Chains A and B, each alone.
Chain A
Amino acid sequence: MAKSSRKVPGLNASSMADVSFLLLTFFLLVSNMDVDSGLARRLPPPPQTEEQTSVDVQRRNLLVVLVNSQNETMAANQHSTEWYANEAELRGEVGGKVALKDRVKEFVLNTSNSLDLPELEEQDFGAPIGVVPVTAAHVVSIQNDATTSYKAYIAVQNEVVRAYNELREEGARKYFNSSYSELTDEQKDQINKLYPQRISEAEPKNYGGGE
């Protein structure tokens, strides 16, 4: 019975490292780590009936941001109308005009309780915020022409989103005494409810933006 005492020879595993290195380099080369990023938006559901397409919004609650075929931007509400010829003007860097984001912020906040800006309505937002007046019915309507370039459209979208982000940052500083990015999810929800992004992208019928 010599067989039973024989030892099983060990498997030579020295090439294992080489093989796994090969696999590793393959996956290293194949994988791409870049994460897609963009401006998130929510589209309205498709109209169920023919009549349902238009929603009546009071004139004072509406800020029309129109990007025309020359890629110029018009921001108009009941209070005033402003034209921006290019991106630098949009950001208020040249031309001495009030930047679009500041106009949006003024429009959303209506701190002066002006009759030409959206109506204020008292709402309860829970613990640290409490009952504060907000412009619950405001709408920023971004409209475009058929030949507007996508680049100009995104630049305008970006400025409007920037206005909301700055409002949220200011709200976080005021009520939670910290940066928006450092808030917990519930706190972020509260701030988002305080300053909801009410951006409407026009139905294609409304080209030209005549109201």
Chain B
Amino acid sequence: MPEMNTASMPDIVFAILFFFMVTTTMRSETLMVKVHIPTASEVQKLEKKSLVTYINIGPPTDARLGTGTQMQLNDRFAQVGEIQDYIAQEKASMNENDQPLMTVSIKADEDTRMQYITEVKQALRQAYALKISYSARKGDN
């Protein structure tokens, strides 16, 4: 029985490897708040991941910190007043052409009170981060 020629196997594996290396995003922060995002039927996909900044809002995962709504920016808890600095910092790290296209994705727990969201929205307006997206899972409702 003739042996199969496997000489091209590394090439194929490398091709797949490069694909995954390019598509993968290494910066996946660990969530410190419980976020169960609401479902919606009319959601749009956020096109470019590099243009998206995330704000996580929900009760802390660590029960010792209570059940009050907290906000996580990058890897730490933050107050609403810190949003402006955070947005400015994220904007500065972007390509200049991309800055107006920056989208802020609000990932908020579905039991959050709207007062908190409204405060966040006002802070985002002050920071001129006007493109926002209410993060929601695609559902049938």
Contact = CB atoms under 8 A, between A and B. Distances in A.
Interface string A27-48: 1101111011111111111100
B42 A39 contact: yes
A38 B130 contact: no
Nearest to B131: A42
Contacts of A144: 114, 118
B136 interface: yes
Interface stretch (A56-64, A107-115, A121-129, A158-166): A158-166
A147 B113 CA distance: 5
Contact of A146 (B38, B115, B138): B115
Contacts of A204: 118-119, 122
Given A27-B17, A46-B128, A162-B42, A36 B135 contact: yes
B135 A17 contact: no
A17 to B, nearest CB: 4
Interface in B93-136: 103, 105-115, 117-119, 121-122, 124-126, 128-136
Given A21-B13, A157-B40, A27 B24 contact: yes
Given A16-B10, A31-B24, A154-B40, A36 B109 contact: no
A161 B28 CA distance: 30
Contacts of B124: 43
Contacts of B119: 204
B115 to A, nearest CB: 4
Given A24-B17, A43-B130, A37 B44 contact: yes
Contacts of A33: 23
Given A17-B13, A42-B130, A43-B132, A151 B111 contact: yes
B9 to A, nearest CB: 5
Nearest to B106: A38
Nearest to A30: B24
A2 interface: no
Given A27-B21, A147-B113, A150-B109, A38 B134 contact: yes
A153 B117 contact: yes
B131 A40 contact: yes
A141 B80 CA distance: 25
Given A30-B24, A30-B26, A38 B113 contact: no
Interface in A154-180: 154-155, 157-158, 161-162, 165
B57 to A, nearest CB: 8
**Ranked 9 nearest A-B pairs via Cβ:** A31-B24, A151-B110, A27-B20, A38-B133, A146-B115, A158-B40, A148-B114, A38-B135, A37-B43
Interface of B: 6, 9-10, 13-14, 16-17, 20-21, 23-26, 28, 38, 40-46, 49, 52, 54, 103, 105-115, 117-119, 121-122, 124-126, 128-138, 141
20 contacts: A27-B21, A30-B26, A32-B24, A33-B23, A36-B45, A37-B136, A38-B134, A39-B40, A42-B132, A43-B129, A67-B114, A87-B141, A144-B118, A146-B115, A149-B111, A149-B112, A151-B110, A151-B111, A158-B136, A161-B42
